[in-house]
Structure 1
Amino acid sequence: MTEKNIIHAYRHLYRDLLRAVHYSKPARFTVLYQLRAAFRDREATYNEQVVTRTREFLKSAIEVRGIEHCVLKNLLLIAWHRHFAKLNAWKRVDRAERASENNGNKPEFQQQVLDSTYKHFDRTIAMMNKTLGISLR
C-alpha cells in the first residue's frame, strides 16, 4: 500500500465514474464530491481487491445500461439531493412551516421520516457493498 497506488486508484475510479455518467453536468460534480469524501475519510482503508471489483462494476455500468447503471444513477441522484437539501434547508423549513399551518403536520415528524429513509438507504448500500465486495457510497 503506497501513496502511488492510492493516487492511481483515485484517478482510475474518477475516470471510470465520469465515463459511467457520460460526463453529465450534475452527476460529474456529485461523483467528484463523493469520491473526494471517500478518499479523505480518515477511517477508510485501502484494499486493492475492493478497488478492482468496484472498477469492474463501473466498467459494466459503462458498457451496458443495465442494473449496474441504474444502481449508480440512483446513488448519484440520492447523493445530489442530500447535498442540495443542505444548501436549501431554509426553503424546506419555510415550506414545512406553511404545510404544518395548513394541515396540522409538524416539521419534526417530516425530518424524522427523512432521516429514517436515509438510514435505510445507507444500510441497503452497505449490504450490497458487503455482498459484492465493492465500495460505493
Structure 2
Amino acid sequence: MADLELIHAYRHLLRAGLRAVQFSKPGRFVIRDKLRAGFRDPDGILDADRVRRTTWFLNGAAQARQIEHRIVKNIVMVSFARKREANRMAWGLQVKMDAQGQRKPYPPESVTGHEFEAYERTIALLNDSMGLCLR
C-alpha cells in the first residue's frame, strides 16, 4: 500500500507543479528534476499532510498570479540558473577579451554555494512554517 501512496503523491505533485509553472519550457523540466531528486532520496520519508499542503500551495499558484505564483516562479528560476551555472562550470569558463585586448574569464565571478545559504534557509523556514515540502 505504501508504494501506491508514493506513486499517487508523485503524480499529484507533478500535475500540480506543471500547472503552477503553466507547462513552460524550463519550468516543467525543473519541476520534474526536483521531484525525481526528492522521491529518489533514500533518507526521505513520505508525509501525506505535507504532500497535501504542497499540492494545495501549487494549485493556488496555478489559479492566480499572487504570492504563491511568485514563490514558485522564483524557486524555479533560481534552480534553473544554478543548474545552468553548474553545467557551464563543468564545460569550463568561456574566455572574452576586455577593452585592452586582455583575455578574461566570463562570467567574471562564478557563484558558489555560499551565496545560496540565505536562500535555502528561507525556503526551509517557509516549509516549516506552512508545513510544505518545497525543495
> Could you tell me the TM-score, scaled by structure 2's length?
0.85
Runs of 4+ with deviation above 2 angstroms? 90-95
Bigger RCO (CA 8 Å, 6+ sep): 1
Cα deviation digits, residues 102-136 of structure 1 (max 9, x gap)? xxxxx7xx45x632211111111001100000010
Secondary structure of residue in 2 paired with 1:136: coil
Q: How do 1:101-120 residues align onto structure 2 when only pairs under 5 Å count?
A: 110=109, 114-120=112-118
Identity of aligned residues (%): 38
Q: Whose strand proportion is higher, 1 or 2?
A: 2
Q: 2:88, 2:116 → 1: CA distance?
A: 18
Task: Please give the secondary structure, in 2, of the residue aligned with 1:98.
Answer: strand
Structure 2 gaps of 5+ residues are: 97-102
Q: What TM-score does the superposition give when structure 1 sets the normalisation length?
A: 0.84
Over the aligned positions, Cα root-mean-square deviation in angstroms equals 2.0
Structure 1 unaligned regions, length at least 5: 101-106
More helix by share: 1
User: Any residues of structure 2 matched to 1:91-110 within 5 Å, and which?
Assistant: 91-92=92-93, 94=95, 98=104, 110=109
Q: For the residues of structure 2 that align with 1:91 and 1:79, how far apart are their CA atoms?
A: 20
Q: Which amino acid aligns with 1:136?
A: L
For the 8 Å contact 2:94–2:105, the answer to whether it is kept is no
Per the alignment, do residues 88 and 56 of structure 1 end up closer, same or farther by CA in structure 2, a change over 3 Å counting? same
Q: Map of 1:11-22 to 2, 5 A cutoff?
A: 11-22=11-22
Correspondence list, 1:32-71, <5 A: 32-71=32-71
The superposition leaves residues 12-57 of structure 1 with CA deviations (integer Å, 9 ceiling, x where unpaired) of 1000111111111111011111110010011111000000100110
